[in-house]
Amino acid sequence: MVTPLIVALDVRTAVEAEELATRLRLHVGGFKVGLELLMGEGPSVVARLVELGSPVFVDAKLHDIPNTVARAARRLGVLGARWVTVHASGGEEMVRVAAEALADSSEGKAGALAVTVLTSLDEHGLNAVGVDRPLGDHVAAMAQIGAKAGAEGVVCAVTEAARVKELGLDLIVVTPGIRPAGAESSDQRRVATPGAAITSGADLLVVGRPITSAPDPVAAAIAIVDEIASALSTA
């Protein structure tokens, strides 16, 4: 992977996604397919993006009974997904069957990423849905579920990345909510710059609108790649 930068293709159509991916693929480390694109175009968009040669991260956020999650994960593995997200709050068994189905259907090339706490939630929002422990403690608990279940990594905000790394769980840490200095946080509450993410221990950084909505997406991606490289050189 040339860089830890994963571009979120938060667009409506496969044509838009493929055009962006074609322009950006030599500059970034992979692409994320989110729910809007997945629901609008269907899972076949994953295979079309895989054909471009970059890793494809399917942010399906699977959360259902284990049998259903396993079947869905298997389908995405067959299509060539490199990573698929699964909510750790669904429990250890659910995450485990997803990880096993992905590995089996991809000859060991695909892995599950356990989602800890959405970056749109702060501690108040978490408490409102019945989770009374501190946000950092909850993220740590969800990460431990992912590790026990055989997930390849976890998804968490930059603010909790160091906490996850300190657990010593041998998980890759994927951080969404990455915004270059001066960019709007939009609907995400726990955001950080690319440099801060690297300093906190993030392994993969997901960036969407600051690149895809930029007047020149390639230039925007290169600027972020340069910031990541600078942070890595001093880490």
3-state secondary structure 37-81: HHHHHCCHHHHHHHCCCCCEEEEEEECCCHHHHHHHHHHHHHHCC
Residues 83 and 140: their CA atoms lie apart, in Å, by 21
Boundaries of domain holding 128: 5-234
Residues 73 and 101: beta-carbon distance below 8 Å: yes
Per-residue model confidence (pLDDT) at position 235? 64
Q: Domain containing 151 — which CATH number?
A: 3.20.20.70
Active site residues: 61
Residue ranges in the chain modelled with pLDDT below 50: 185, 187
The pLDDT tens digits for 205-234 are 999 999 999 999 999 999 999 999 988 888
Residues 38 and 47: their CA atoms lie apart, in Å, by 11
Of 133, 126, 127, 136, which is closest to residue 157 (Cα–Cα)? 136
Q: Which helix (H) or strand (E) holds 138?
A: helix 135-148
The number of folded domains in the chain is 1
- Tokens coding 146: 């992912």
